Each structure stands twice: as C-alpha cells, then as structure tokens.
Structure 1
C-alpha cells in the first residue's frame, strides 16, 4: 500500500523483453540493497511492482503483459524518469491517500494552464471511470496523490503546486501525453455497494 507521496525519481537504464514480460532496470539513489530487499513492493509511476534483483546500485522489476496493457509502461524508453515510492510502513504518517498501486486506466493530458506559480492540468479519461472521480476527491496520477478540482462527463482537472511540479515527473508533462490513473478505492466500494442495493431492490 502507498500514499501517493513520491519519495524520489529513478531513471530507466535497461529494458529487455522476456517472453512478453518487460524486465526493467532502474537507477535511483532512493532504492539500494542496504535498505531494501528482493521481494519488496515499490510504486513506479503508480504501479505496484516487486523488486526482483539488484545490480550494483540499480534494481530490477518485471512488468507483466496485463500491466503493459493497462498502463503507460508500454511507452517507457531508456532514460525515461519515473516516480518512486516505497511501500507504506505502519509507523509513517498518511499524508496523501490510500493507493494500492493497481492502475485502473490511463488518461491523456489535453490542456495545461498556468495559474500564478501553479499549473492546472485537464485530463481526458474513459467516461466509465467518472463515477469514481468526484470534485474535491482524491486521485492517483503516475503515483502522485492529487485533489480533483473540477469534473466533466469524460474529463477532470487537478492543480499542481510548484513543489509537486519540481519533485515529480508531472512537472515535465506535455499536452497529448498519457498518465497512469488510480481512482479512489473508497469511492469504488461505495459505487459497488450502491449498485448492489439498487439491484437488490
């Protein structure tokens, strides 16, 4: 489990296909063999993956075909930067919101507007996801916990402060690019239970 508070960034230094599974080598000073172990979970651009091995100070993860299909991982390239967050420890403060690292879908950035030192991003998403996205609610974008500021039939907006723009890869986003989306798990359960009550009646 994660909180959407990115702890650092990593760089893709090697990609190799293993019968449909993408093996990814990431360089980062955040994740090292002295403080992390093989088998631990880590959020990479919002995707929960398992550390499979260390090579020098780099670490490897495997992205299965389902992950490649549902996320932006099929577009990763050498030297791409990624957001990193280690799994939440029970002693840590919950500064963002609960994220499982189970990406629901992707969204496309359609507009970026500057407002003072912040930026407002408009993202287009499949309308089937909109019941889980509410104004003032939480959403995970490439592993970053953000607050939704406006919603439409198939779009929503988030506002990013200078710190988030600087400390995550979201500050490098351009119009037309895709991002990973994880909607709020609590919202999913509420919608599911409400639908079951309606069906029962």
Structure 2
C-alpha cells in the first residue's frame, strides 16, 4: 500500500525482455534504500513492483505481461525518469490517499500551462475510467496522489504547485506524454458493492446502467 507522496525520482538503466515479460533495473537517486529488503514493494511510476535484487543505489524488479499491458512500461526507454515511493509503514504519515499500485490504464497529457506559480495539466483518461473520476476527488498519476480540479467527459484537470513539479517527473510532461492512472480505490469497491448478489454472475461488473440503478432503488 502507498500514499502517492513521491520520495524520489529514479532513472531506468536497464530493460531486459524475458520471454514475454521484462526485468527492469532502476537507479534510485536520493531514495533511502537502507531499510529495503528482498521482496519489498516500491511503486515505480505508480506501479507496485517487487524488489528481486538491490544495492544502495538501485533495484531490480520483474514486470509481468499484465503490467506491460496495463501500464506505460511497454513504451518506456532507457533513461526514463520514474517516480518512486516505498511501501508505507503503519507509522507513516498519511499525506496523500489510498494507493494500491495497481494501474487501471494509461492516459495522455493534453496540455500543460502555467497559472501564476502553479501549472494546469489536462489529461485524457481511457473512456472506461471516466466514471471513476470526480471533481475534487483523488487520482494517482504516475504514482503521484493528486486532486481532480475539473472534469470534462474523460478529460480531467490537475493543478500542480512548484514543489510537485520539482520533486516528481511531472516537470517533464508535455502534450502527448503517456501517464499511468490509478483511480480512487473507494470508487472501484462502491461499483462492485452496488451490484449486490449479481456480482457473482459472470456477466456482472462490466457496466452499471441507469436502468440497473433505478431497478435497485438508487434512482427515483
């Protein structure tokens, strides 16, 4: 489990294809590796990866075909900057929101414009994720816990303060940049809960329609 508060920006230094999936090496920059052990989790651009090898300055992790399909890692290159966060402790200050490190899809940056000392970033999410994105709700973008400040269909607006721009890879964003998105986990569980007993049916869970909500008393 993570909070979406980035601890360091790392650099991808090796990407080794291994029969349909990939082994990744990340140079960790200023990330404190002194308490890391084999099997620990490190969120890498929002993807929860398991450490299989490490030193004071790097770690190695395996990426499954599912991870490559769901995230932007399939398109990353050597030298790519990635946001890093170690898994939270029970004593960790909870400064962001609940982040699982399970990416839901890949979005695309539409524009980056300055507004006073802040930056406004518009992102286009995959259409199937639009229903989970609400104004003033939380969303994880490349592992960063952010507040949605505007919604227009599947597009949403973020407002980034200078600290966030400096301490994450968001400062490198431009129109066309692909980003890993994880929607608020609470929205996902609510969707499943609303299905009730129908959740056990194999065809359930694909879409909740207005007719379904009305039938179960959620609409009048």
Aligned equivalents of 2:158, 2:55: Cα separation in 1 = 37
Aligned equivalents of 1:120, 1:195: Cα separation in 2 = 36
Aligned residue pairs total: 200
Question: Is 1:137–1:147's contact at 8 Å kept on the other side of the alignment?
Answer: yes
TM-score for the superposition, normalised by structure 2: 0.86
The CA RMSD measured in Å over matched residues stands at 1.6
**Runs (5+) with no aligned partner, structure 1:** none
Larger radius of gyration: 2
Structure 1 residues 191, 85: closer, same or farther in 2, change over 3 A?
same
| Residue 66 (structure 1) aligns with | 66
| Residue 89 (structure 1) aligns with | 89
TM-score for the superposition, normalised by structure 1: 0.94
What is the CA distance between 1:111 and its match in structure 2?
1.2
Q: Compare 187-196 and 75-84 and name the one that shifted more.
A: 187-196
| Residue 172 (structure 1) aligns with | 172
After superposition, the C-alpha distances for 1:138-165 in whole angstroms (9 at most, x for unaligned) are 0000000000001111211111110000
Question: Is 1:31–1:59's contact at 8 Å kept on the other side of the alignment?
Answer: no
Q: Compare 94-103 and 148-157 and name the one that shifted more.
A: 148-157
Aligned equivalents of 2:32, 2:23: Cα separation in 1 = 17
Aligned equivalents of 1:154, 1:58: Cα separation in 2 = 36
Q: What SS is found at the alignment partner of 1:50?
A: strand
**Runs (5+) with no aligned partner, structure 2:** 198-211
Bigger relative CO (Cα 8 Å, ≥ 6 apart): 1
| Residue 140 (structure 1) aligns with | 140
Structure 1 runs of 4+ aligned residues shifted over 6 Å read none
What is the 5 A alignment of 1:1-201?
1-28=1-28, 29-32=30-33, 34-54=34-54, 57-196=57-196, 198=212, 201=216
After superposition, the C-alpha distances for 1:49-72 in whole angstroms (9 at most, x for unaligned) are 100112573210111111111101
